[in-house]
Structure 1
Amino acid sequence: MNKIKHKIVFLALIGLLPTLLFAQDIDDDQTNDVDLLENTNTSNFELGNGLNLNMNEGDYSFKISGMLRPSYGYEGFDRDTSANNYLYVGAARINLEGKAVKEKVSFFIEADFVNSFTLYEAFVAFHINEKMKLSVGQKLTFTNDRAYSINESQLSMVNRSPLSNSFTTDGREFGIFYESSFQIGNVILNPLVAITSGDGMNSFGDNSIDVDKGGLKYGGRLEILPLGAFSGKEGHRHVVDFYREEKLKLAINGSFSYNVGASEKTGDGHGDFQLFDENGKEKFPNYGKFYIDLLLKYKGISFSADFVNSFAYSKKDIYSSPQAVIRFTGEEVSSKYVLGTAFNAQADYLFSNQWGINIRYTTLMPEYENYDQSILQKEDWYTLGVGKYFKGDALKIQAMGSFIDGKDSTNPTDLSTVTNDRYEVHVVAQIIF
């Protein structure tokens, strides 16, 4: 009865959230690509598309933009624990990007001033032709789920799903990235391949002592659009149906990554812990992830679903100390790496007045369900969201609330059951300038 009562209170709270928000129009999706201006020496500014400078009769273009996301968060618990209320800046970013048309080269730099690693992205891209591009540097990789293949500014809810946040740390890596697109009849295929350091952002460390760990990380993604192209440049990735597709559109995607010698829980960082082989030398298991996701859009309705499975593998025994006394078991590996599966499903609807509503369900399933030290714990998330778009993603206000059905545990002293259920509410205002 206690869970039911709290769920009713939670749903009532979500019902009041729209009173926080307001009205107006939409614009094109935001992307990291440079939109070339007409072939004249011009400059212009547009909310959501930054300050654009076009020079040398269109041969060179330069763009300055940024994003702010002031936010509010609330966390409550079923157990006897005080609730948390907090205000924070979710993002404060500056972007610089440019393109040299004749040289077929572009660059992109993104800095976030609320993150301990200020430099988010910095890469140079060579545009082989209109359908193929090769990038080198640090950027948001496409080898994770759909939500981590787009920028945070393009999310249809305040935050990425628990699936995304559990199996990915930040999604940005240093390496080589190949992107391409081919069309066979009405079917569009987008093969994407990446070879990265496997050590996450700023992977070479803060100084010369903080070096990379393990080997390289190999990954790829195949996007299939069997019903033709979506409207908008990011339409096959962006969940919100801003263009209200007149015909049903579908995107089916599969991605994978395999990190040789991962030293961070999701294979997206490095140096979080030390492990050794029988000779006392540093040795880490290989860590892999497989994703499958899909996206449907039709007349303002969107449906998306994601599935992920992760694993860790080593040919040799792994030990927790250089003395090679205590060998790691399979269960103990789950205390260092996120091991298990997860499923996420989400439905969205965008009204013609640019109000949007969302509902999302996520379940997390650890490989060792009864192992309390496992990083991934069994949870079911139920989330409702609402948002008002004033100019697409450029100016919007969003709110969402989640009920988390956590794994119950038994107190060994009095054998009483302790519930790990909790509640979260998040509100964010976003402006891209």
Structure 2
Amino acid sequence: MKNLVGAFVLSLFMLSIGNAQDIQGPRFGKGILNITGKDSTWSMNFTTRFQLLGSATWQENEIGNTDFNSNFSVRRARLKFKGFVFTKKLTYKLEIGLANQDIDGASYYTDYTDKFIQDAYVQWNFYKNLSLRGGQAKLPGNIERIISSGSLQFVDRSLLNAEFNIGRDIGLQLLNEHYLTPTFLIREQFAFSQGDGRNVSIGNMGGYQYTGRIELLPLGAFKNNNEMKGSALEREDHPKLMVSVAYDYNDDSVKTQSNRGDFMELEDGLYQTDISTLFADVVFKYKGISFLAEYANRSADDPIAIDEQNIPTGDVVQTGSAFNVQGGYLFDSNWEVSGRFTNLNFDEVVQSTMEEQQYTIGVSKYIVGHNLKLQTDISYATFADQKDTVMARLQLELQF
């Protein structure tokens, strides 16, 4: 698979070089190639992006000294292809991840093939504002997960997202939007999916996953879908608000975090339990001010995995709740200062010391919006069952 991806990218590069005198690329941030068929029956926009991350952590050890660790990495590296086929009402998206943290490991459940594919779906706008999406995509869960990792307000998403989001899955999604009044916009999204996470190819392990999300925008639509981006780069002329609720039910889930986490393996199969996750979030933006708050709660019928002899296997569903609030102010110079507070409260079956908190202060310079930006943040965290931790990060984002 790596060879195939490399060969494809090399082919695109050689094509662009071979026709360098004939092809004029789009404006920076609008993709590397924009191609439309001569008969206008298809199009393709090819984009690439990557993040270069440097991080350092300080943590007190058992003997009272401070352990220091540093790391430099390519946090994300993505290739994106999108466009339409046959009609502009039939669109598609393919996104491939190449960085180590994009790929995840191969396993029996993925046919021992690395997880390169992030998104791979087609979407059909079949009636007015109704669209049907089929394939692998993000499920309509918490707002932080829906926001692209390339459009975040901080170096990365919060601990709430790390522990409670429901990620990507393969299946069908129905999307709709309509106005209740001339300014009151409502959007709905419903998903039916396999329930085992992205790129799982060895059948359906448990039951199916059902997800629904409703978004209320009483003050009208944000500029250019600004609610789905970090910061306030669009500088709304009037206050804009979005209030949303999402609910996910994973029937006979076999993973510790619904469709994410570890498979709960038994000697003769997989442990299964019903898992429910509730999300609520608020987004507010006005001029240079941005505010986001979200809540998550996960529960399971039988969170402790047991074998046929009723002996715990060691796998436990990560149940509990979390709250995250963040905001920032964007100056006219496109420098932004931001702050975030995240609180995790796990159920006692997960761990005896239940509460975890993290405080973060960030500074960002948006050179060309989210397409070229430099972000840094520093966090102080009190984690369960370990010493307090200080983490500092610096990241460069580049998107063509």
Q: Same fold (TM over 0.5)?
A: yes
Q: Name the counterpart of 1:4.
A: none
Q: 1:304–1:345: 8 Å Cα contact kept in structure 2?
A: yes
Structure 2 residue 398 is matched with structure 1 residue 431: yes
Letter in 1 for 2:189: L
Q: Name the counterpart of 1:89.
A: 74
Shift of 1:212: 3.1
Q: Name the counterpart of 2:294.
A: 306
* Aligned pairs (5 A) from 1:19-30: none
From 70, 78, 82, the equivalent of 2:52 is 70
Q: Name the counterpart of 1:414.
A: none
Q: Name the counterpart of 1:421.
A: 388
Alignment partners' CA distance in 1, 2:30 and 2:24? 12
Cα 1:431/1:371, change in 2 over 3 Å: closer
State the structure with bigger RCO (CA 8 A, min sep 6), 1 or 2.
1
Structure 2 residue 29 is matched with structure 1 residue 48: yes
Structure 2 residue 243 is matched with structure 1 residue 252: yes
* Aligned pairs (5 A) from 1:201-216: 201-204=198-201, 210-216=202-208
Q: Name the counterpart of 2:217.
A: 225
Scaled by the length of structure 2, the TM-score of the pair is 0.84
Q: Name the counterpart of 2:258.
A: 267
* Aligned pairs (5 A) from 1:219-368: 219-232=211-224, 234-269=225-260, 272-275=263-266, 282-314=270-302, 320-322=306-308, 324-326=309-311, 336-368=316-348
Structure 2 residue 381 is matched with structure 1 residue 390: no
Q: Name the counterpart of 2:85.
A: 100
**Among the aligned pairs, what percent are the same residue?**
25
Alignment partners' CA distance in 1, 2:283 and 2:341? 15
Shift of 1:282: 4.5
Q: 1:263–1:269: 8 Å Cα contact kept in structure 2?
A: no
1:357 alignment partner, SS class: strand
Q: Name the counterpart of 2:163.
A: 166
Summarize deviations over 1:29-57 as a string: whole Å, max 9, x none: xxxxxxxxxxxxx9742222202122336
Letter in 2 for 1:212: N
Please, which runs of 5 or more residues in structure 1 have no aligned partner? Answer: 1-41, 205-209, 410-418
Q: Name the counterpart of 1:183.
A: 179
Structure 2 residue 190 is matched with structure 1 residue 198: no
Letter in 1 for 2:362: G
Q: Name the counterpart of 1:378.
A: 355
From 150, 153, 161, the equivalent of 1:153 is 150
Shift of 1:102: 2.7
Letter in 2 for 1:303: F
Q: Name the counterpart of 2:109.
A: none
1:153 alignment partner, SS class: coil
Cα 1:321/1:238, change in 2 over 3 Å: same
Letter in 2 for 1:339: T
From 125, 128, 131, the equivalent of 2:129 is 131
Q: 2:147–2:230: 8 Å Cα contact kept in structure 1?
A: no
Please, which runs of 5 or more residues in structure 2 have no aligned partner? Answer: 1-22, 105-114
Letter in 1 for 2:155: V
Shift of 1:318: 7.2
Letter in 2 for 1:187: F
Shift of 1:100: 2.7
Alignment partners' CA distance in 1, 2:80 and 2:350? 45
Letter in 2 for 1:347: G
Shift of 1:337: 1.3
Summarize deviations over 1:163-185 as a string: whole Å, max 9, x none: 1111136x111111111111121
Alignment partners' CA distance in 1, 2:396 and 2:120? 26
2:121 alignment partner, SS class: strand
Higher strand share: 2
Letter in 2 for 1:402: S
Alignment partners' CA distance in 2, 1:271 and 1:165? 14
Cα 1:319/1:168, change in 2 over 3 Å: closer
Shift of 1:139: 1.0
2:307 alignment partner, SS class: coil
Cα 1:353/1:327, change in 2 over 3 Å: closer
